[in-house]
Amino acid sequence: MAMPRRHATSVIAAGFVLAAALLSGCGSDDESPSEPATSATSAATSAPAAPATDNGQAQTFTVTVDDMTFSPADLTISVGDTVTWKFEDDVVHGVQGIGDKAMGINSPLFTEGEWSYTFTSAGSFRYLCPIHPEMRGTITVE
Ligand SMILES: [Cu+2]
């Protein structure tokens, strides 16, 4: 029934905010905050974020075509990146874009080999295997 008290940091943060308010608010002593500011708990959220991926550097991603499956079926890339489909199945496959926007995705048929396509505009590009329309994948370009 005893609940652990985890309020230490928020109390400190509230005190810090209060001190800062007192320091900066010279001349306004009339308003004495009677309640601790509960909305100031997120004062210390400026932790350093992970380094951003370097923009402008084109990358190549691989989609493996094997076992009647595109893997990964859903892939998110950046504008300018290239996707290489690696055909490794015993059965003939290809990649064919669905819809006008994905018209450029149109590979020959392979049992073995690679085919690459560079995405130069953002959007969601769906494709399938023309031989096995149930084989589908999506490239999301951001
Ligand atoms: Cu296929």
Q: What is the CATH number of the domain that holds 121?
A: 2.60.40.420
What local confidence, expressed as pLDDT, does residue 135 receive?
98
Residue 102: inside a domain, yes or no? yes
What local confidence, expressed as pLDDT, does residue 138 receive?
98
Separation of 119 CA from ligand 1 center, angstroms?
22
Residue 81: inside a domain, yes or no? yes
pTM for the model stands at 0.62
Above 50 in pLDDT, residue 15? Answer: no
Separation of 25 CA from ligand 1 center, angstroms?
70
Residue 82: inside a domain, yes or no? yes
Residue 49: inside a domain, yes or no? no
Separation of 39 CA from ligand 1 center, angstroms?
56
Q: Where is 12: in which H helix or E strand? A: helix 8-24
Separation of 55 CA from ligand 1 center, angstroms?
34
Ramachandran area for residue 42 (φ above 0: left; ψ -120 to 50: alpha; else beta): alpha
| One-character DSSP codes across 69-117 | EEESSEEEE-TT-EEEEEE-SSS-B--EESSGGGTT-B---BSSEEEEE
Separation of 2 CA from ligand 1 center, angstroms?
61
Separation of 140 CA from ligand 1 center, angstroms?
21
Residue 109: inside a domain, yes or no? yes
Max distance between CA atoms of the chain, in angstroms, equals 82
Above 50 in pLDDT, residue 84? Answer: yes
Contact between 79 and 122 (Cβ < 8 Å)? yes
Range 20-37 average pLDDT: 48
Separation of 108 CA from ligand 1 center, angstroms?
11
Nearest to 134 by CA among 98, 103, 106: 98
Separation of 120 CA from ligand 1 center, angstroms?
25
Separation of 73 CA from ligand 1 center, angstroms?
13
Residue 19: inside a domain, yes or no? no
Collect contacts of 43-52 with beta carbons under 8 A, ≥24 apart.
Answer: 43/13, 43/16, 43/17, 44/9, 44/13
The count of domains in the chain is: 1
The residue range of the domain holding 94 is 60-141
Residue 124: inside a domain, yes or no? yes
Separation of 121 CA from ligand 1 center, angstroms?
26
Residue 106: inside a domain, yes or no? yes
Residue where the block lists tokens 């991926």: 53
What local confidence, expressed as pLDDT, does residue 51 receive?
47
End-to-end Cα, the chain, rounded Å: 50
- Who has greater pLDDT, 11 or 61? 61
